[in-house]
Structure 1
């Protein structure tokens, strides 16, 4: 039945500036609906992001709203802090981890983890780059990706 996520939506205060921000992340602009809504492809023909121009962007953040996680490769994630900073975007502290490098949160089932880095868009919407990583040693603690790779025996650069 369900094959994946087709779209997600976020509130923005300046539609044109937000379109440029998300294009800077590599999303492809598709179209606008008047001056209130824009769609950008996350993965062309498969999933997109809708941006709604509104004066309601100051809704208090909660992970259940105003959050989108973009899947990336492990190699891209390893370069994400520098990549974001080179574009003028600022990675942010999340789950007690400083944004010096991605960190990993193990899945409670123990067979994989989620490596991630968090940042915000200009309106404070929470964004993250994320990918699954193996967990052959069933690690249970959250840690920076470089430490995870050493302890799990996965590839270390």
Structure 2
């Protein structure tokens, strides 16, 4: 029945500024409604992000209400820190990891590599990709450490 996530929504204080921010990240603007709601494609005709201009942006952050994780390739993730900085955005600390490079959160059969940053309203954004975990590693570590542990050398 369920095939994927079609849309997610975030509160923003300035719709025009937020549209430009998300376009800079590579999302494609589709349309706006009544100058207070805009939709941008994350993946054309598959999933989009709704941005709602509101004065309720000051809600205390919690990942269940103000967080979006964007799937990227491993190569894209490896370049994410410099890519974000080249656009004037700063990666941020998450789960005790400094934003010097992506980090890995592993589980028995798989892992995720990720980096976190915020949009102009403090909404939490994440670039993430799934990794195989053939060695069943469960420790959290930076991506460069993960790659050394999983190399065949």
TM-score norm. by structure 2 comes to 0.98
**Matched ranges for 1:1-157 at <5 A:** 1-107=1-107, 110-153=108-151
Q: What per-residue deviation string (whole Å, max 9, x for no partner) do you get for residues 40-73 of structure 1?
A: 0000000000000000001001111100000000
Tell which deviates more after alignment, 69-78 or 132-141: 132-141
Give the gaps of 5 or more residues in structure 2.
Answer: none
Could you tell me how far apart the structure 1 residues matched to 2:150 and 2:140 are? Answer: 12
Q: Give the drift of 1:111.
A: 1.1
Moved over 2 A (4+): none
Give the gaps of 5 or more residues in structure 1.
Answer: none
Q: Give the drift of 1:34.
A: 1.1
* RMSD between superposed Cα atoms in Å: 1.1
Aligned length: 153
